[in-house]
């Protein structure tokens, strides 16, 4: 039970709150939590999902008429900026609404000088009820640091990392969640196909569902997989098809798929991430099977597959493919990823390594 939760913190939206405790139940839980919390730490490489959460935070906290007075965005690259943000969070709100101070690209959970740690220890517990302090970074906090432990104690910590491409159940769950937020009704088969088509690309998922929402305004029934196949750009699905073509040694099809993906502006590193995830899953499964493992639950757990029933289809895909051959793909994929991160030409690099991978499945090992 929340109880009479710091009504002075809730009062930043209005000078007085006309509702009583039972009315709090009608407030969406996340927004209510936002009203109660004063410090937030969001991290991860899913920039789009993180940016959406920040926008919702702004809309919940700030009065549109007073944003220019009560909203500060500060770059966290300079260590002194942390002190600036802390001091700004301690200043009173001006006019209506609350105050939001956002420290972007902070490094306090990677390295934190003693001077800044001291200020964090002093200020975080004392931030006024009308102020909200937000830290964001793409990097995972170092749990060993005192600053990270302090943030965990006083802040709402959320991770915004892309879902691994091989975790299909989580991708499906994400599609259902966003579809509900946007107001798009989909059949179960449509949900699965959309998850396959966009993979872990949050931005594309949101854009595709907004497009489907417009299309489905006149529909009386949930949209089915035929509509998804017609309207959705299936970049992630094509990346999985690329993995299948490589495993079959089909060099011509694989090179054509690469060309199609890049022409649709699919990032090369995202293509590689899908390939790594798929070949990793195949490798673990095949090595387990060749090692004599028969328990589907144990195999699924080792391969990070939430639904053991998927193994029936995966086993069919792997007939005639040795674990040793699959294992040999991983160093090649690692080298491909390294070259792309060093700035090598995406099309040329993907083509060269794809040919190398296809040859691997044509020769005897």
Residue 36: pLDDT band (50, 70, 90) is: low
Residue 131 and residue 42 share a domain: yes
> Is 109 within a domain?
yes
The boundaries of the domain holding residue 218 are: 168-231
Strand partners, 99: 131
Residue 153 shares a structural domain with residue 174: no
pLDDT value at residue 64: 93
92-106 pLDDT, tens digit per residue, is 999 999 999 999 999
Q: Which three-class secondary structure state does DSSP give residue 223?
A: strand
In a domain, 365, yes or no: no
Per-residue model confidence as pLDDT tens digits over 349-365: 999 999 999 999 886 54
Query: Per-residue pLDDT tens for 70-95?
Result: 999 999 888 789 999 999 999 999 99
For 280-296, the pLDDT digits (tens) are 999 999 999 999 988 88
Number of domains in the chain: 3
pLDDT at 170: 87
Does residue 217 share a domain with residue 279? no
- Output the domain CATH number for residue 356: 1.20.272.10
Taking alpha carbons only, the member of 266, 261, 188 closest to residue 225 is 188
Q: Tell me, what's the pLDDT at 310?
A: 77
Q: CA–CA separation, 174 vs 92, rounded Å? A: 39
What mean pLDDT is predicted for residues 221-240? 82
Q: How many CB atoms lie within 10 A of CB 68?
A: 8
Average pLDDT over the chain, rounded to an integer: 85
**β-pairing, 131-137 with 39-43?**
parallel
pLDDT at 8 over 50: no
Q: Which residues pair with 323 in a beta bridge?
A: none
Task: Over range 259-266, report the average pLDDT.
Answer: 86
Domain C-terminal end among 138, 159, 180: 159
pLDDT at 287: 93
Helix (H, G, I), strand (E, B) or coil at 91: coil
Label residue 164 by pLDDT band (50, 70, 90).
confident
Contact 36, 5 (CB under 8 A): yes
Q: Give phi and psi for 247, each to the nearest 5.
A: -60, -30
Q: Are residues 110 and 246 in the same domain?
A: no
């Amino acid at each position: 039970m929340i109880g009479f939760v710091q009504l002075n913190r809730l009062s930043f939206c209005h000078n007085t709150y006309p509702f009583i405790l039972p009315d709090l139940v009608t407030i969406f839980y996340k927004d209510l939590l936002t009203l109660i919390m004063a410090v937030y730490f969001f991290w991860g490489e899913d920039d789009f999902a993180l940016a959406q959460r920040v926008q919702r935070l702004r809309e919940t906290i700030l009065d549109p008429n007073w944003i220019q007075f009560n909203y500060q965005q500060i770059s966290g690259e300079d260590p002194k900026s942390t002190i600036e943000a802390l001091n700004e969070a301690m200043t009173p709100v001006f006019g209506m609404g609350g105050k939001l101070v956002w420290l972007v690209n902070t490094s306090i959970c990677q390295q934190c000088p003693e001077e800044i740690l001291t200020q964090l220890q002093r200020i975080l517990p004392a931030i006024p009820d009308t102020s909200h302090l937000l830290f964001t970074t793409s990097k995972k906090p170092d749990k060993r640091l005192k600053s990270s432990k302090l943030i965990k104690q006083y802040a709402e910590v959320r991770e915004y990392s892309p879902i691994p491409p091989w975790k299909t159940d989580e991708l499906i769950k994400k599609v259902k969640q966003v579809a509900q937020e946007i107001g798009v009704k989909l059949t179960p088969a449509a949900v699965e196909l959309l998850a396959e088509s966009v993979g872990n690309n949050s931005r594309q998922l949101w854009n595709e569902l907004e497009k489907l929402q417009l299309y489905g305004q006149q529909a009386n029934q949930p949209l089915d997989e035929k509509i998804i196949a017609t309207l959705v750009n299936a970049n992630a699905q094509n990346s999985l098809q690329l993995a299948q073509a490589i495993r079959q040694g089909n060099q011509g099809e694989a090179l054509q798929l690469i060309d199609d993906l890049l022409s649709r502006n699919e990032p090369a590193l995202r293509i590689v991430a899908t390939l790594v995830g798929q070949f990793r899953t195949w490798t673990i499964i095949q090595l387990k099977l060749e090692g004599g493992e028969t328990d589907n639950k144990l195999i699924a757990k080792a391969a990070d597959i939430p639904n053991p029933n998927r193994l029936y289809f995966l086993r069919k895909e792997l007939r005639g493919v040795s674990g040793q051959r699959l294992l040999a793909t991983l160093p090649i994929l690692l080298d491909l990823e390294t070259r792309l991160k060093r700035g090598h030409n995406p099309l040329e690099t993907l083509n060269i390594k794809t040919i190398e991978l296809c040859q691997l499945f044509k020769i005897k090992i």
